[in-house]
């Protein structure tokens, strides 16, 4: 995974918003994934168009007070989302 790679959500997940968190369930895979507030925000930005660096830039603009830590946080979150099967890279 590089900053140029483009993540997109894996299709087929049903969503439930639970307070600030999100729960994803894939009936075909019988898999449930819990996303905290940050992970759900990043997951929703994985549209198959924006690259990893696009997502980082967008979040740095939205949260300038956290611009230093955002690149590492986004990279870690995307790695975890991929391991969980919630996203793939195109």
Partner 1 sequence: MSGLASRGVAFGGSTIRIEYAGRLAEEVVSFLFRSAEPTDAEPAQGTFRIEHGAGDQVLTVSSPGGIAYTGDDAGAAAHALQDAASYALSAGSTGGLLLHAAAVALNGRGVVLPGKTGSGKTTLAAHLVRRGYQYLTDELVFLREGGLAMRGCPRPLNVKPSGRAAVDAEGWERLDSPSATLVLPPASQLAAGVEPLLAAVVFPRFREGAESRLTPLKAGERGLRLMAVLLNARNLDEHGFPAVAELARTTPGYELIYGDVREAGELVTALLAGDPPAPTA
Does 44 bind partner 1 (CB under 8 A)? Our answer is no
- Does the footprint of partner 1 cover residue 88 (CB under 8 A)? no
Q: What's the helix, strand, coil split of the chain in %, to 5? A: 40, 25, 35
Provide the residue count of the chain: 90
Nearer to partner 1, 20 or 61 (CB): 20
CA of residue 6 relative to chain centroid, distance: 11
55 binds partner 1 (CB under 8 A): no
Whole-number minimum distance, CB 51 to partner 1, in Å? 28
When asked if residue 22 is in the footprint of partner 1 (CB under 8 A), the reply is: yes
CA 49 vs CA 7, 8, 34, 62: distances in Å: 8, 8, 24, 19
32 binds partner 1 (CB under 8 A): yes
Q: Is 14 a binder of partner 1 (CB under 8 A)?
A: yes
Interaction site with partner 1 (CB under 8 A): 14, 16, 18-23, 25, 27, 30, 32-36
């Amino acid at each position: 995974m590089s900053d140029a790679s483009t993540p997109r959500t894996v299709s087929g997940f049903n969503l439930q918003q639970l307070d600030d968190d999100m729960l994803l369930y894939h009936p075909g895979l019988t898999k449930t994934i819990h996303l905290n507030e940050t992970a759900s925000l990043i997951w929703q930005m994985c549209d198959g168009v924006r690259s990893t660096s696009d997502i980082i830039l967008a979040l740095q603009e939205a949260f300038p007070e956290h611009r230093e830590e955002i690149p590492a946080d986004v990279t870690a979150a995307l790695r975890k989302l991929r391991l969980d099967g919630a996203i793939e890279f195109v």
